[in-house]
């Protein structure tokens, strides 16, 4: 049977811990981060075509670049090059269709997720046969967060964030409320603001939070809420002061933890259980402190073929 379309579902990520080390000569920062995939997903389909193209619909579709800057198209090119090196390549183009639920430039790695989905989808469409390990190597060349979107679950990221080790976690499921902001933040701009806040002071090497890892092993949401941390949070708030109010509202509503997601401006709130998450979402939405809210559970699976 000839495969004509492959569809992959891919999750957003949040960072339970984001420890940012010194600025490196290549413009990146060494990180220690704990990635956590949540059940807010994009769907990405690929089908054979004369030339590569991308069509985006859904949440924030108008803000996604449609040309060669599109991360999913960059992933297609990177996979084509990697497959050709192993003589497993295909010359054909692909039409990529992205159905977005993950907001754009929101600190949820939506663009990286779409790139990861495109890698998995084209690997299947072309029957290129790259292993998960080979796909992760290609992913790391496309962006710092792309490899994690392939893996999903909960994982520790080092280096730029692309060197991953799955975290030892209990079977717990966590219930999150995401507050989407009325606006966007650029990741390089937030890292730049952090560098300026730090000035000339020496920056220690980042290290993993033992308390956070212990809370994850125990599956204890209250301890996890206490241990959440993000070195980019102060810089994100400095650039987007309204986030202070959003975080305060969640804390007043008894969230176990309140945190800016990655480089922001999405804010995250950890709930005690599913019904607390529903109440928190309704109350936050009524408080007028964000554009909209969504509930999400984690950990979620990485990029997965859902239709072929």
> Comparing C-alpha atoms, which of 62, 9, 13, 1 is closest to residue 261?
13
160 binds ligand C5P (CB under 6 A): yes
One of 5, 28, 242, 287 touching ligand C5P (CB under 6 A) = 28
Smallest distance, Å, CB 86 to ligand C5P?
Answer: 25
Which of 30, 124 has the CB closer to ligand C5P?
30
Smallest distance, Å, CB 206 to ligand C5P?
Answer: 10
* Contacts of ligand C5P in 230-289 (CB under 6 A): none
Which of 52, 145 has the CB closer to ligand C5P?
145
Number of residues interacting with ligand C5P: please give it, by CB under 6 A.
12
CA distances from residue 22 to 25, 103, 261, 263 in whole angstroms, order as listed:
10, 29, 20, 16
68 binds ligand C5P (CB under 6 A): no
Around Cβ 193, how many Cβ atoms within 10 Å? 19
31 binds ligand C5P (CB under 6 A): yes
Looking up tokens 């606006």, which residue turns up? 183
DSSP 8-state secondary structure symbol assigned to residue 187: H
Q: Which of 13, 43, 100, 114 is catalytic?
A: 13
Which of 42, 145 has the CB closer to ligand C5P?
145
191 binds ligand C5P (CB under 6 A): yes
Smallest distance, Å, CB 159 to ligand C5P?
Answer: 7
* Contacts of ligand C5P in 89-148 (CB under 6 A): 143-145
CB 170 within 8 A of CB 54: no
CA distances from residue 122 to 42, 46, 68, 82 in whole angstroms, order as listed:
16, 7, 17, 12
End-to-end CA, the chain? 11
Q: Is the dihedral of CA 68, 69, 75, 79 positive or negative?
A: positive
Smallest distance, Å, CB 162 to ligand C5P?
Answer: 8
93's tokens: 């183009």
Smallest distance, Å, CB 171 to ligand C5P?
Answer: 30
Residue 145: active-site member:
yes
Stretch that binds ligand C5P, among 27-35, 114-122, 226-234, 268-276 (CB under 6 A): 27-35
**Cα 63 to chain center, whole Å?**
17
Residue 231: active-site member:
no
What 3-state class would DSSP assign to 70?
coil
**Cα 12 to chain center, whole Å?**
4
DSSP 8-state secondary structure symbol assigned to residue 28: -
Binding site for ligand C5P (CB under 6 A): 27-29, 31, 143-145, 160-161, 187-188, 191
Q: Active-site residue numbers? A: 13, 145
């Amino acid at each position: 049977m000839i495969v004509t379309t492959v569809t992959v579902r891919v999750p957003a990520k949040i960072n339970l811990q984001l420890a940012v080390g010194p600025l490196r000569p290549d413009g990146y920062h060494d990180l220690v981060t704990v990635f956590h995939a949540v059940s807010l997903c994009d769907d990405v389909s690929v089908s054979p075509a004369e030339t590569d193209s991308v069509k985006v619909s859904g949440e924030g579709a108008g803000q996604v670049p449609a040309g060669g800057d599109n991360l999913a198209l960059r992933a297609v090119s990177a996979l084509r090059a990697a497959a050709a090196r192993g003589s497993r390549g295909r010359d054909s183009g692909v039409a990529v269709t992205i159905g977005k639920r993950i907001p754009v430039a929101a600190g949820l790695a939506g663009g990286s997720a779409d790139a990861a989905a495109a890698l998995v989808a084209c690997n299947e469409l072309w029957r290129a046969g790259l292993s998960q390990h080979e796909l992760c190597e290609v992913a790391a060349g496309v962006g710092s967060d792309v490899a994690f979107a392939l893996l999903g679950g909960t994982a520790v990221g080092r280096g730029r964030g692309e060197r991953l080790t799955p975290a030892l976690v209990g079977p717990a499921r966590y219930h999150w409320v995401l507050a989407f902001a009325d606006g966007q933040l650029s990741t390089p701009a937030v890292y730049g603001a952090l560098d300026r806040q730090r000035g000339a002071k020496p920056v220690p090497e980042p290290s993993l939070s033992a308390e956070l890892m212990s809370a994850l092993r125990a599956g204890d949401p209250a301890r996890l809420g206490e241990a959440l941390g993000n070195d980019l949070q102060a810089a994100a708030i400095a650039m987007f002061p309204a986030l202070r109010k959003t975080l305060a509202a969640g804390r007043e509503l008894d969230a176990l933890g309140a945190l800016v997601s990655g480089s922001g401006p999405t804010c995250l709130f950890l709930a005690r259980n599913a019904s607390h998450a529903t109440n928190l979402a309704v109350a936050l939405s009524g408080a007028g402190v964000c554009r909209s809210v969504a509930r999400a559970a984690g950990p979620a699976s990485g990029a997965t073929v859902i239709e072929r």
